[in-house]
Structure 1
Amino acid sequence: MNDALLALTPTLELPSVAREQALKKQTNISDYDFLLGWLYPEDELLPPNLALFSKTTGPVFIDFLGGKKNHRRQFGGGKGQPLARAVGIASDFTPKVIDATAGMGGDAFVFATLGCEVLMIERSPIVAALLQDALNRAHLELQLEAEGKTYRFDDDEHSFLTATISRMQLVNADAADYLNHTKPEADAIYLDPMYPEKKKKAATNKEMTALQGLVGPDIDSSKLLEAAMTVAKKRVAVKRPAKAEPIQLESGKKPSASIQSPNTRYDLYVVASTQS
């Protein structure tokens, strides 16, 4: 068993398991909702992935250099996509962004690929561990590439990814408390609250299934939105299902504007000091 995992396990309060045990069910995984383990790549130079195993999904880990995140980077629509417009990215302006509900890091990675300095805040210590492992692994893989020990990316792609990963930082904290007490600098704050599961729904990907099972729905979205509006210099963007009501605030404040996409809506709260 990897020493780093053994060190993490008491902190995360999850039982640890070797990859072979979890995949071959040599350990009775039904005794646990979730297990942590390491996935070792075929290339011995590359670091293992910290992965989350559950009863209902295969191993879930985060990879900023490949898979779905790399595909999204290449084909997501650039600065014209609704997500980018929601936080105010434009041809002549690149905001400093806080992703206060980082989750698996997909949206934060998009912001970073578009040039934004991004602070990810994730309150689940387990999900934060997966994110930190992904950042550590990306730094190491890119360093190995720079040293000529691996050959995965061409020079331009390597340079681009190195700059992208360097723009991403992570904090494991309750986002509302962190924003209220630390007051970090940000032009835009992005919120993507976890919604309660619907009884009838389309199949979700295994990342989302694991995340929903692990952390559950957000029940304090209004508290986080209020905190975000006291910190953001320009705007707060909240991702919502296309037909959902805006988050209800005690102040009664409504979104200043919205950006629509087929299944999603981004509610924008423009900070009063920036309005003309």
Structure 2
Amino acid sequence: MNEARTPRGTAEVVSTHSVFGAPCWVSLTSRGLEAAQDFYSAVLGWRWRPATLGDRFRVALADDVPVAGIAAVASMWQMAVAWTPYFAVRSADEAVARVAERGGTAAVGPLSLPPGRAALLADRDGATFGVWEGELISNWETWRRAAPTFIRLHTRDAFDAAMFYGEVLDWANQSPGCCEVHYEGGEVVLRSGGDVVARIESGALEAAPDPTIRPHWQVHFAVANAPRCARAAEQNGGSVLSLSPEEAVLRDPDGAQFTVTSRRGR
């Protein structure tokens, strides 16, 4: 997306026309910019730079690579505080139309945000996600490795969700650059360029859809030490929902949930 561009000349610019269907950005909708920056700096070691969209927006840097965005618009736009993944699409208008045709919701957009267009959507079970059409990060492969480990959709029916997203995002259509979809280890797994970039899970294969699950996309950030991040989260006003040596599910002071995964446990 445009906030995440590195200077031209460092690498070939990649667009959503050649890499599509894969997650290409993650953004946090928060209430307060400074509080969010302080928390994620302490927990994930991020630094910050201004974004082109205005004073309520910032871009997070990990080792000088843009990895995520923050938008302090939750109160102003009456939106939930949450992390949202964005998927690369060849046409934002087509993606929005496909979502509506399949029982999903178009919440915002498509909006023109040069050098591309974006929309905020929800699937038919209510899980929120976004789409982006246009130029991606100039150094695409660097972002893929510095950004989230992957994203996981927790939903009531993994196969129904995979059909929805596959039709909206052109998964597994045999075109060059599209994502591959497999069933591995009890989950639907999305691969882009051989890397696991998303998972969809709903419990055991034989189990009926679980009506108690509130469908949502969970963002997993790669870190050096998950327990250390969990301690930092508690020390800075957040909370720990679950913890193991390899992974911790955390909640920031505003209530946004995310996961940190130790690189050695990937």
Give the TM-score normalised by the residue count of structure 2.
0.28
- Which structure has the greater CA radius of gyration? 1
Higher helix share goes to which structure? 1
Higher strand share goes to which structure? 2
